[in-house]
Structure 1
Amino acid sequence: MFPQRTMLRALRSPALRQTIQRRAASTESSFTGAQNNAFNRERKAVKDHAAATSDLWRKLSIYAVVPALLIASVNAYNLWNEHWAHWAHLEPLEERLEYPYQNIRTKNFCWGDGDKLERQDQLPQEGIDVRMEM
């Protein structure tokens, strides 16, 4: 704690602050004559800053985002496979116990009661033949 306070006090000293400010202020200008005005200098500073910032975001995108996406994709793939491996060893839907608190509906869906499915491929298990009765 003590060294941090000492350093902060040293940074507040006017002599050091003027040195830092002088180094930060750019005295070199590529403009000459009538072109050397405040507008042109400010516009050049903005363009230089934008170029440096764009380079930073390009590096972040390549070296941080791309690896993060790859890691997240591998994780999602593994979770997907684990889910279906778990689902494969369960008994079919028709053989599972139905408890009274499951599928509580106070009114039917707009397409029917919701207990029947229209197509076979809507169920996660293979080979189940359930047809919609209307």
Structure 2
Amino acid sequence: MLSARILARATRTQPRILQQARRLATESAPKGTESAFVKEREAVRQHAAESSELWRKLSIYAVIPAVLLAGINAYNLWNEHWEHWSHLPPLEERVEYPYQNIRTKNYFWGDGDKLERQGQLPQA
């Protein structure tokens, strides 16, 4: 009984609310009486459109070429580095100077020297 009464009331009042909402949404203020708020919102919208267009152009015409040039530079530096290393003697034949191996304390896993360099390979 109670739910039927609520359902009848809801179905009876809903179309009236929808008609009022439609009527209010379709009505517009005359063009000469635009408020300062509406003008300000339009100015903000126009500024946002111009600003986003500026950043889109900067992204396409400035950032993408800069990233490509930086990538080409990094690739060239990488190749020059390994070209230089190819002319050096192998690591095993290089002189090991005492100042290259200064340690003030041991590492927590040992002294830090490689077993292969010391000739102390574990016996299998």
TM-score (structure 1 length as normaliser):
0.58
**Can you give the 5+ residue segments of structure 1 that lack an aligned partner in the other structure?**
1-30, 118-130
Letter in 2 for 1:44: E
What is the DSSP-based 3-state SS (H/G/I as helix, E as strand, rest coil) of the residue aligned with 2:101?
Answer: coil
Q: Which residue number in structure 2 is paired with residue 50 of structure 1?
A: 48
Flag the 1:83–1:132 CA change in 2: closer, same or farther, 3 A: farther
Looking at both structures, which has the greater relative contact order when contacts are Cα pairs under 8 Å and sequence separation is at least 6? Answer: 1
Structure showing greater Rg: 2
**Percent identity, aligned pairs only?**
70
Q: Which residue number in structure 1 is paired with residue 38 of structure 2?
A: 40
Q: Distance in 2 between matches of 1:33 and 1:84?
A: 73
Once the two structures are TM-superposed, the CA of residue 108 in structure 1 deviates from its matched residue by 2.1
Structure 1 residue runs of 4+, over 4 Å off? Answer: none
Q: Which residue number in structure 1 is paired with residue 75 of structure 2?
A: 77
What is the DSSP-based 3-state SS (H/G/I as helix, E as strand, rest coil) of the residue aligned with 1:112?
Answer: coil
Q: Distance in 2 between matches of 1:132 and 1:61?
A: 57
Task: State the aligned residue count.
Answer: 89
Aligned alpha-carbon RMSD (Å)? 2.4
Letter in 1 for 2:31: T
Once the two structures are TM-superposed, the CA of residue 113 in structure 1 deviates from its matched residue by 2.8
Bigger helix fraction = 2
Letter in 1 for 2:103: R
After TM superposition, list the pairs within 5 Å mapping 1:119-130 onto structure 2. none
Q: Which residue number in structure 1 is paired with residue 59 of structure 2?
A: 61
Q: 1:114 pairs with 112, 115, 122, which one?
A: 112
Letter in 1 for 2:47: H
